[in-house]
Amino acid sequence: MRQGTPTGLASADQLGLSLAALIDQHGPAVYRLARSVVSDPGLSDDVTQETFIKVWKHLSTFRGDGSVRSWILRIAHREATAAVRRRRDRAVAPDQIDDTASAPPVAGQVEARLAMETFRGALEELDELSRAILVLREIEQLPYEEIAEVLDVPMPTVKSRLLRARRFVSTALEEWRD
Amino acid sequence: MARHLFHPSNRRLRTWLDTGATRRVTQHVETCERCADRLEQLDQVERARTAGRGRMPIGDALRALLVTPDDLTLRVTDGLQTWRNGNQDLELFAELFSIGMDTARLVTPPAAPNVRGDAAPDGDSDPADPDEAPSA
């Protein structure tokens, strides 16, 4: 579902958007983007909150040149990469990182759980940028131009990384039938 | 955008899609619009060939893996309210003693917890500083 906001408006206040509405509308996308970058669910929670603190601080200065969604996701991506950097600086051992699996789509099915773990492993092998591109395209359905804007990378980078990432993870989905 | 005199063959692009080899091709396709478009066409051919295998769509698999907590909105809203309350106190403190917000932060203990209950990091010393928040 597209959640872009009309462009060319002077400020977010004029859009009549309350922060609660923004959290409700864009919170899940922010969380998923954060999770794709940092992997850790708890840290993704923190990144989501920090993102909306920054959104709140700067809502009145939002120029409205682009979509609110792109603006928020750009902040979220910067917060997530900063969180990864901080975590690297603290040199957290891999076994300290919470990688608790989400519930599989059909609870109790061992095959589904194994297939999901295989898929998770394939995702983890991708670099952070490729994971973020994959999520923004495959879940949030953002157009290439908007992904390039959110992640601040050239369009060919978006396209090539997306195609390669799709090809790479699709092999891990061979055993995961819908 | 970089201009390239030479472009990889279709065979090399297909190999790159399958294996990611080589680094030189990677560097090329990440900066060449023409080859990124060619990759897309090659990928469409491959996807058409493998369609109907009953494989879980990538988007669905990602959604299942990156499931959003049910109470995310509530927790973020609560956490933000706590932060705003703490910030209002800090502003009052700074105004009362005629000191800057940075100084006020230094002389007061961190009060705003994040959603996990840890002390909130100081936003203004963050690399992704709000002052550098991307403008739309």
Backbone angles phi, psi at B119, to 5 degrees: -65, 135
pLDDT at position B128 is 41
Residue A102 C-alpha from the chain's centroid: 16
Chain B contact for A114, CB < 8 A? no
Residue A62 DSSP SS3 = coil
d(CA A132, CA A33): 6
Asked casually if ipTM beats, i.e. exceeds, 0.85, the reply is no
pLDDT interval class at B35 (50, 70, 90):
very high
Among the listed ranges A79-83, A112-116, B62-66, which one has the minimum average pLDDT value? A112-116
pLDDT score at B6: 87
Q: Is the pLDDT of residue A120 over 60?
A: yes
Instruction: Answer yes or no: pTM beyond 0.95.
Output: no
Torsion of CA B19, B23, B24, B26, to 10 degrees: 60
| Record: contact B65-A53, CB cut-off 8 A | no
For residue A22, the one-letter residue type is: L
Q: What's the pLDDT score for residue A104?
A: 53
Residues A123-145 have a mean pLDDT of: 95
For A16, the token pair is 């009549």
Contact A46, B117 (CB under 8 A): no
Report the pLDDT value the prediction gives residue A164, as an integer from 0 to 100: 94
What per-residue confidence (pLDDT) applies to B63?
92
Please, which residues 83-112 of chain A have a Cβ atom closer than 8 Å to chain B?
Answer: 85, 102-105
* Residue A65 DSSP class: S
Contact status of B48 with chain A (Cβ, < 8 Å): no
- State yes or no: pLDDT of B40 exceeds 80: yes
